[in-house]
Amino acid sequence: MFATCFRTFRTGNKYGLLARYESTLVIAEHNNESLAPITCNTLSAAKKIGGDITVLVAGTKCDAVAQSVSKANGVSKVLVAENDAFKGFLPEALTPLILATQNEHKFTHILTGATAFGKALLPRVAAKLDVSPISDIIGIKAADTFIRTIYAGNAIQTLKCKDNIKIVSVRGTAFEAIPLEGGSAKCEPALTGDYKSQLAEFIKQELSKSDRPELTSAKIVVSGGRGMKSGDNFKLLYSLADKLNAAVGASRAAVDAGYVPNDLQVGQTGKIVAPNLYIAVGISGAIQHLAGMKDSKTIVAINKDPEAPIFQVADYGLVADLFKAVPELTEKL
């Protein structure tokens, strides 16, 4: 009984504060060397919410990243947590740090980019705070009202969050990246603690190396599907991509068939891209693939099947054998 009264009183009090201003914690994503570009998109979402923005940089090496994000316009504070416990950025280690930080500062919003990192981390934090998180938002209507897609991008849901703390992951392609300039936030050490996880241990990473631009932020993306017929044939797309300074993507069919690694998958369950130009080669255009690319400014489809659904979303369609059309395109560009 007493506990209930106490809780009601506290919630009421907190709400009074909330009504006056928002304060947002953005969890920076990085690789201990540089800031992941999606953090800049996330910061722009944080700006839309309004109020103070604090960025938390946690990792085994944070200096360079903290310095660069402190220059972002609109950031008021950077909290730095450098600790060996954060090796591999395990949610089991980061969650207690975020909870301690939240406890200290009472943020109204906690945001990350909707990447593998953000998706793995935020719901764990939300569970600890007993909050219903909101995934992969594409718009912000108010501090408590968000827009997101459901059903593989085939419906757009606007929802109002009833929880006190809003825990939100942000779709990078839906928000402009803010430049890392014009700001001069203070860097401060975050709360120290014993964050080493006894539950999980990072062993290793096997990252695909590429000189091409990163898929989710590339201006042009060239993607191949089942029609490529083999991994070797992807060379055709790499040549075209190099000519255009484009990133290379793939449909699920191409990944499942082993033509390319899984991190190239574009779609509902892979990466969401929205480049200026998306060239789909030998991709039929299943619902799940369209979910990952249909916000591209211009879509080009090269497919020999005139009935392929991809032509219904393509601005320019070329009904042709890709093994002839792609080399010709590469040569003539």
Query: Which 292-321 positions form the footprint of other proteins (CB under 8 A)?
Result: 294, 298-300, 306, 311-320
| Euclidean distance between CA atoms 139 and 54, whole angstroms | 20
User: Among 9, 200, 230, 235, which residue sits at the site for other proteins (rule: CB under 8 A)?
Assistant: 200
Match 């419906």 to its residue by tokens: 155
Minimum distance from residue 160 beta carbon to other proteins (Å) = 4
Q: Interface with other proteins includes 128 (CB under 8 A)?
A: yes
- Of 75 and 255, nearer to other proteins (C-beta) is 255
Q: How far is the CB of 234 from other proteins (least distance, A)?
A: 16
Comparing CB distances to other proteins, the nearer of 189 and 327 is 327
Whether the CB-CB separation of 79 and 101 falls below 8 Å is answered with yes
* Contact residue for other proteins among 9, 10, 150, 192 (CB under 8 A): 150
Q: In the window 63-122, what residues touch other proteins (CB under 8 A)?
A: 88, 90-92, 95, 115-117, 119-122
Give the separation between CA 151 and CA 136, rounded to whole angstroms.
13
* Distance of alpha carbon 64 from alpha carbon 251, whole angstroms: 36
Rounded to an integer, what is the distance from CA 328 to the centroid of its chain? 35
Residue 56 pairs in a beta bridge with: 27, 79
**What 3-state class would DSSP assign to 176?**
coil
Q: Which amino acid is at 265?
A: Q
Q: Is 3 in the site for other proteins (CB under 8 A)?
A: no
Q: Which residue type, as a one-letter code, is found at position 145?
A: T
- Please say whether the beta carbons of 309 and 283 come within 8 A: no
Closest approach, Cβ 111 to other proteins, in A, equals 15
Which residues inside 234-273 make contact with other proteins, applying CB under 8 A? 244, 252, 255-256, 261-263, 268-269, 271
Q: Least Å distance between CB 173 and other proteins?
A: 14
